[in-house]
Amino acid sequence: MTTVSVTDLARAYGAVGDLIAAIQPEQWTAPTPCTEWDVRDVVRHLVGMDLVFAAMIEGGPLPEREADPLGDDPVRAYRASSAALLAAFAGPGVLERTFRSPMGSATGAERLQIRLCDLLAHGWDLAQATGVPARLPEDLAEQALAFAGPQLSSQRRTGRFAESRPVEETAPAVDRLVAFLGRPVPWRR
């Protein structure tokens, strides 16, 4: 399996950031493929998880669960949280170190892979919900799928992911990734 770098994660953050910057005011409450969340909730999740991962890596306190990290500027919050996490991942020895958390134990490199998978999947969710074209890097979606397959194939999916959905083998990698994570492709409101 190919190792994903901090630079690769930065490419994915850039693509999703461009998508978030294009969200129109009336789209923030639109439904998404994550049936419990609207567009703002998905962005809140992305920012919140960036802050959780950064705190975990840096050994700082975890953010308040109920706090809204988006404030009145979700785009700025997203860019700030992604920059903070990229800086944390870029620290000396971070990718080799093992981190223990309520999510289990994993190396920094594995945490980076997990973050990439989540980011790309939710980027797809946002694109579906808003109609904003997603320019999610196909090579990174292939890598995320290669990582997620072995990680989730042996796990129970209840509560975290739906069962895998059918999708054409020739579909774009991001479509195959989200179908594997339980989203219907194509998604319809």
Domain ranges of the chain: 6-139
pTM: 0.93
- Please write the tens of the pLDDT for every residue from 126-150: 999 999 998 999 999 999 999 988 7
Q: Residue 117: is its pLDDT beyond 60?
A: yes
Q: At 119, which helix (H) or strand (E)?
A: helix 108-130
Task: Look up the CATH architecture of domain 6-139.
Answer: Up-down Bundle (1.20)
Q: Residue 156: is its pLDDT beyond 90?
A: no
Q: Residue 105: is its pLDDT beyond 80?
A: yes
Q: Residue 167: is its pLDDT beyond 90?
A: yes
pLDDT at 179: 94
Q: At what angle do helices 108-130 and 138-153 cross, to 10 degrees?
A: 110
Average pLDDT value for residue range 110-121: 96
Rounded to whole angstroms, how far apart are CA atoms 173 and 120? 10
- The residue among 155, 134, 156, 148 whose CA lies nearest residue 21 is 134
Residue type, 139: D
Q: Answer whether 130's CB lies under 8 Å from 30's CB.
A: yes
